[in-house]
Amino acid sequence: AQSVTQLDSQVPVFEEAPVELRCNYSSSVSVYLFWYVQYPNQGLQLLLKYLSGSTLVKGINGFEAEFNKSQTSFHLRKPSVHISDTAEYFCAVRRYNFNKFYFGSGTKLNVKP
């Protein structure tokens, strides 16, 4: 089974500052990687995904993530956050040939004015 580790349960940051949310996974096989965002009382919404190709992936709302195979990481970044980015962010992984998703425990991003 895969495992996904999001080291930071909470990340406070001031508005317009840059932010990085960390995600590491364990897998001996090739995987697809995803970041989802969850606003209060809502379901998860896909931010971005890595399937293959360029290791730098751009998503919605100005977010991007970089796949690092050697470090088995897929960190999420945004150069300048807004108050509206306050939400919980989940990293997820699934194997190429097995349609089962494994989610991290989430990181709550709290953007302060």
Partner 1 sequence: EAGVVQSPRYKIIEKKQPVAFWCNPISGHNTLYWYLQNLGQGPELLIRYENEEAVDDSQLPKDRFSAERLKGVDSTLKIQPAELGDSAVYLCASSPGTDYEQYFGPGTRLTVT
Q: Does 103 bind partner 1 (CB under 8 A)?
A: yes
3-state secondary structure of 79: coil
23/43 Cα distance (integer angstroms):
20
Q: Does 42 bind partner 1 (CB under 8 A)?
A: yes
Sign of the alpha-carbon torsion through 113, 13, 23, 40: negative
- Give least dist CB 80 to partner 1, A: 26
Q: Does 87 bind partner 1 (CB under 8 A)?
A: no
First to last CA, the chain: 41
Considering only residues 43, 52, 54, 113, which one is a binding residue for partner 1 as defined by CB under 8 A? 43
Q: Does 11 bind partner 1 (CB under 8 A)?
A: no
- Give least dist CB 96 to partner 1, A: 9
